[in-house]
Amino acid sequence: MDMEKQEETTVREIEFKLIDDDEMPPIVITMGDNDLPKVVINRKHHIWLGLYRKTIGGCAESLYGKIDELLTAHLTEQRMYERMEY
């Protein structure tokens, strides 16, 4: 129970960076210097970003679901290999 409370209170700061680059897409999620997620927002696409701001904001739940699917598949595969060793 104490571990759950500790995990809930851990706040990770996400780095945000604004750029102006014709070659880059509107939004990129990458790894920052501290290995935490970094979100790069390209101001060159400010009209598109503004137009789809609510759609972009709503992507978080779907993105979490996709990452969860990837992790579950990976762990399932690892468990299968682990069971084959016995």
Number of domains into which the chain is organized: 2
The pLDDT assigned to 13 comes to 86
pLDDT-derived band at 12 (thresholds 50, 70, 90) equals confident
Same domain, 66 and 47: no
**Domain co-membership, 31 together with 7:** yes
User: How is residue 54 annotated by DSSP?
Assistant: H
- 43 and 9: one domain? yes
Q: Is the pLDDT of residue 5 over 80?
A: no
Looking at the fold, whether 47 and 63 belong to one and the same domain comes out as no
**Could you tell me if 23 and 44 lie in one domain?**
yes
Distance CA 77, CA 74 (A): 5
Q: Say how many C-beta atoms besides its own lie within 10 A of residue 68's C-beta.
A: 10
Q: How confident is the model at residue 85 (pLDDT cuts 50, 70, 90)?
A: confident
Please give the residue range of the domain that contains residue 2: 1-51
Q: Is the dihedral of CA 9, 56, 71, 30 positive or negative?
A: negative
pLDDT digits (tens, 9 = 90+) for 28-63: 999 999 999 999 999 999 999 999 999 999 999 999
Tell whether 45 and 69 lie within a shared domain.
Answer: no
